[in-house]
């Protein structure tokens, strides 16, 4: 199993750490995931979760205590961990995490939680190992894993360039395929892929096909990467700096961009989580790329009616507004309030075009007489962000 310790490579104190984990592992044989509602889990997924809880009891408990949800995957074969910080920004940003060989989602959450909290980023960690052996069939294949992950991310409200794809070791080796499928499928959810201590091997079928030119010279065009390696990695040609430098060259040769390369001379396999400053460099680069693609929230101003107008039954009245950043706006909605703007229960028009700036409403003959009429206009951009404005004052509906 690929592990990440909390101390620099080679320190004798690491022996104490592994002794601690070993003793806790043995004492946890009876642990059951009682804090997780497993009613919707298949027998296979429930058994896998129980195995994970027994294998990583302290990290499992840590995740539950921090409010992480554990949910079944749509196909019923596995589960995933979902968590967002208490102070989540209006635009949801998420780390999609793939653990290392024979790893568990609770490891990913434990190792990344503090930096996720510090940077205001959530996490969706997929249990992509099925808990058996170490062959390729004991893991989700990227072509199966990606559409499932994309569905789950979209369900959480993630939009274009709002996801940090992160893979460690074996997860890193598969992260390049995930980035490829994100671009190929046109979702473009990933602002950046962080590939940590796991190089790209062209012996893997997809990467071999890319190398042979099957997907053209720009197979990774539009993708952005941060690569990490420790100079003291015990497998330098697979996971260490020689492997990661070759990987960076390969990605660049097919149109990818390596924005940040973290080459640490004192660290071993997975040492990034021993240095918060390295984690923060990764998140800073991610937020720079994510924010560069965030479309501005529409700014709307209602022009009319804006207070004092008299509206007549059976008559039409022109509702007009002004929207900034029209090039990013995809739709407008117009709503009506009869209680001075306390509520807007009536939709007068939905899904007007992004360029619409007026709408004429025909007042029904049986419309109630009111002196407290106001209009609200909502504008929505292509990222799903919405801006709105209300009439500044009341207008009246009369006979």
Q: What is the pLDDT of residues 176-232, one digit of tens each?
A: 999 999 999 989 999 999 999 999 999 999 999 999 999 999 999 999 999 999 999
Q: Residue 90 has what pLDDT?
A: 58
Does an H or E element contain 98, and which?
strand 94-98
275, 292, 309: which is the final residue of a domain? Answer: 292
- Regarding whether 207 and 96 lie in a shared domain, the answer is yes
| Mean pLDDT of the residues in the chain | 89
- Regarding whether 253 and 332 lie in a shared domain, the answer is no
Q: What is the pLDDT of residues 34-68, one digit of tens each?
A: 578 899 999 999 999 999 999 999 999 999 999 99
Least confident residue range of 18-27, 81-90, 340-349: 18-27
**Has residue 252 got a pLDDT over 60?**
yes
343 located within any domain: yes
What is the number of structural domains in the chain? 2
Q: Residue 29 has what pLDDT?
A: 40
292, 320, 345: which is the final residue of a domain? Answer: 292
Task: Give all strands of the β-sheet with 358-362 in edge-to-edge order.
Answer: 300-304, 316-323, 358-362
- Regarding whether 348 and 223 lie in a shared domain, the answer is no
46 located within any domain: no
**Has residue 14 got a pLDDT over 50?**
no
**Has residue 254 got a pLDDT over 80?**
yes
More confident: 314 or 241? 241
CA–CA separation, 63 and 15 (whole Å): 25
Q: Grade residue 32 by pLDDT with cuts at 50, 70 and 90.
A: low
49 located within any domain: no
More confident: 79 or 298? 79
Q: Residue 34 has what pLDDT?
A: 59
Other beta carbons within 10 Å of 346: 10
23 located within any domain: no
What residue numbers bound the domain in which 169 lies? 68-292
271, 292, 313: which is the final residue of a domain? Answer: 292
- Regarding whether 338 and 242 lie in a shared domain, the answer is no
CA 106 to chain centre: 17
């Amino acid at each position: 199993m690929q592990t990440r310790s909390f101390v620099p490579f080679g320190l004798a104190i690491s022996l104490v750490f592994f002794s601690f984990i070993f003793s806790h592992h043995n004492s946890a044989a009876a642990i059951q995931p009682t804090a997780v509602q497993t009613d919707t889990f298949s027998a296979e997924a429930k058994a896998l979760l129980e195995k994970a809880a027994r294998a990583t009891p302290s990290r499992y408990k840590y995740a539950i205590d921090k409010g992480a949800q554990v949910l079944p995957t749509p196909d019923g074969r596995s589960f995933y961990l979902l968590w967002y910080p208490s102070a989540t920004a209006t635009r949801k940003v998420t780390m999609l995490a793939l653990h290392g060989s024979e790893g568990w989602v609770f490891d990913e959450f434990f190792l990344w939680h503090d930096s996720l909290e510090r940077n205001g980023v959530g996490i969706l960690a997929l249990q992509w190992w099925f808990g058996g052996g170490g062959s390729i069939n004991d893991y989700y294949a990227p072509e199966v894993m990606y559409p499932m992950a994309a569905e789950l991310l979209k369900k959480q409200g993630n939009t274009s360039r709002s996801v940090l794809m992160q893979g460690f070791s074996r997860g890193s080796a598969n992260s390049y395929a995930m980035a490829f499928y994100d671009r190929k499928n046109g979702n473009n959810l990933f602002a950046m892929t962080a590939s940590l201590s796991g190089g790209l091997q062209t012996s893997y079928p997809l990467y071999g096909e890319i190398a042979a030119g099957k997907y053209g010279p720009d197979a990774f065009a539009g993708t952005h990467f941060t690569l990490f390696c420790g100079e003291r990695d015990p497998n330098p040609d697979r996971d260490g700096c020689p492997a990661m430098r070759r990987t960076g060259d390969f990605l660049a040769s097919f149109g990818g961009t390596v924005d940040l390369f973290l080459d640490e001379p004192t660290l071993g396999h997975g040492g990034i989580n021993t240095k918060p400053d390295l984690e923060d460099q990764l998140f800073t680069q991610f937020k720079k790329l994510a924010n560069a693609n965030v479309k501005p929230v529409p700014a709307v101003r209602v022009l009319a009616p804006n207070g004092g107008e008299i509206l007549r039954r059976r008559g039409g009245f022109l509702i007009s507004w002004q929207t900034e950043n029209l090039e990013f706006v995809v739709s407008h909605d117009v709503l009506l309030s009869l209680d001075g703007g306390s509520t807007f229960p009536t939709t007068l028009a939905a899904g007007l075009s992004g360029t619409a700036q007026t709408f004429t409403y025909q007042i029904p003959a049986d419309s109630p007489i009111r002196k407290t009429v106001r209009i609200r206009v909502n504008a929505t951009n292509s990222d799903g962000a919405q801006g709105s404005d209300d009439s500044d004052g009341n207008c009246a509906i009369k006979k």
